[in-house]
Amino acid sequence: MSEKQLTEMDYAEFQELMDAYITRSSQQDDALPAPTFLELLFDILSQRVQNVIRLEGQVINGELVLTPTEEETPVQVRGNQILLGDWQVIVTLKNDKLQPV
Amino acid sequence: MRIVIPGAFTARHQDVLTRYLTDDRLLSPAEWQLLYQGVDILDTAQVHTDAGMGTFRQLYHRHIDVCFATSYLERLLALEDVETQSPALMAEFARRIAPHLQQAGLLLPDVPLTWLFYIYCVYWWQNFARGYAFEVQIVRDLRASGVKLYSHDIRDPVERRSVADMVVLNLTGDVKTSTYFLRSASSLGLPNDFYVTRLWTGGEHRLLVVFQKPTAWEKIDGDTVEGRLSDLLRLLPRPVRLQHDDVVLVVIDYATWKRRVLQVQRKEQDDE
């Protein structure tokens, strides 16, 4: 049964597969082999680091206005708001005004 | 009922998912990546019924998380020995999922695409259940060892979703099983200062380790040895500085980390 694909199973075989999975996964933790985990973790983090989106900020009439430096970006920018998937990032200036350095 | 699986979910994803359910110890790193990718794609699969449309993720939340999570966590927290008693509790709750979905009309023997939703639910439930069992074990162990920490209340559905599970030495930390750690790293990066996790080193051996940002380790000790990913197991329990491209993390075994944290906390207490 273990070599069968889901599409080749009948419901009784599928139930058997799931019952065995529940038994096994309840008794074992999900610790990955150390080399596998390290490879995946650093690959994921490296890929994130490569995905850089650059925005420029200007204060116009006291309001922060962000603009992408490239024409096409995977994020939407509206004024001081950045929309990324389900996330909305709102950037405001501390104390609501620019401070002299 | 109509189920729409995104086209990005291919036969290869389904194949690796079946192999994972059968025996996950046989998966290669590339297959693990494929598995995580496939499950992520299923987040947006749609179930259309007379009552409306819901994605797998939304329906999981409505039918599994809302119905089972808090009662599972209360039972988990009532266990005296989480390590030995939690497997039976996890299995008990996981076996409630099929009848619950059948009653809701979301698992139908003659509609194999509903099986995929059931797999999705059991996959995330087991990861949820194991993740919190691990977190409770670690928090109890730290407290029993005398480490001072603030931890979130996992019975509170809002607090449970906080990015950090605990604060130690003003450092935010998370206790994550492998799957949750990688999913979190993929979607959020590593927003916390440290992460306690568990690695499999062959046979029955598990290794508890702490992944930290270099700045977090500097606050505790700072001393490291340079290592490569392939050297880590050989270099532990020493604190190992791993760099891959621009990513730098310090990894140390959990017992050593705990001991160093205790030393810093005791010194702070003596200085007061």
Judge whether A15 lies within some domain: yes
pLDDT per residue over B190-209, tens digit each?
888 999 998 888 777 788 99
| pLDDT value of residue B12 | 93
Tell whether A101 is covered by a domain: no
User: Is a pLDDT exceeding 50 seen at residue A1?
Assistant: no
Q: Express each pLDDT in B247-262 by its tens digit.
A: 889 999 999 999 999 9
Last residue of a domain, one of B83, B111, B140: B140
What integer best gives the mean pLDDT of chain A?
Answer: 80
Structural domain includes residue A30: yes
* Cβ contacts of B137 on chain A, cutoff 8 Å: none
| Structural contact between residues B91 and B98, judged by C-beta atoms closer than 8 angstroms | no
Chain A hits for B90, CB-CB cut-off 8 Å, are 25-26
| Full domain range(s) for residue A14 | 6-50
The three-state secondary structure class of B73 is helix
* Chosen domain end from B107, B140, B173: B140
Give the distance from residue A93's alpha carbon to the nearest chain B alpha carbon, in angstroms: 22
pLDDT tens, position by position, B49-90: 888 899 999 999 999 999 999 999 999 999 999 999 999 999
Q: What pLDDT digit, counting tens, does each position of B123-133 carry?
A: 999 999 999 99
Instruction: Assess whether A73 and A44 both reside in one domain.
Output: no
Cα-trace Rg, chain B: 20
Residues in a beta bridge with A66: A57
Residue B150 touches partner A, C-beta closer than 8 Å:
no
B145–A contact, CB cutoff 8 A: no
Per-residue pLDDT at B89:
96
Query: Is residue B121 located within the same domain as residue B171?
Result: no
Return the top range by mean pLDDT from A66-75, B92-101, B158-167: B92-101
In this prediction, residue A95 has a pLDDT band, given cuts at 50, 70 and 90, of: low
Structural domains counted in chain A: 2
Helix (H, G, I), strand (E, B) or coil at B104: coil
- Which one of A30, A38, A46 has the shortest CB-CB distance to B177? A30
pLDDT digits (tens, 9 = 90+) for B144-172: 999 999 988 888 887 877 888 899 998 99
Whether residue B236 has pLDDT greater than 90 = no
Same domain for A39 and A10?
yes
Q: Which residues of B124-138 are buried (b: 16+ CB within 10 A; e: fewer)?
A: bbbbbbbbbbbbbbb
Specify the pTM: 0.82
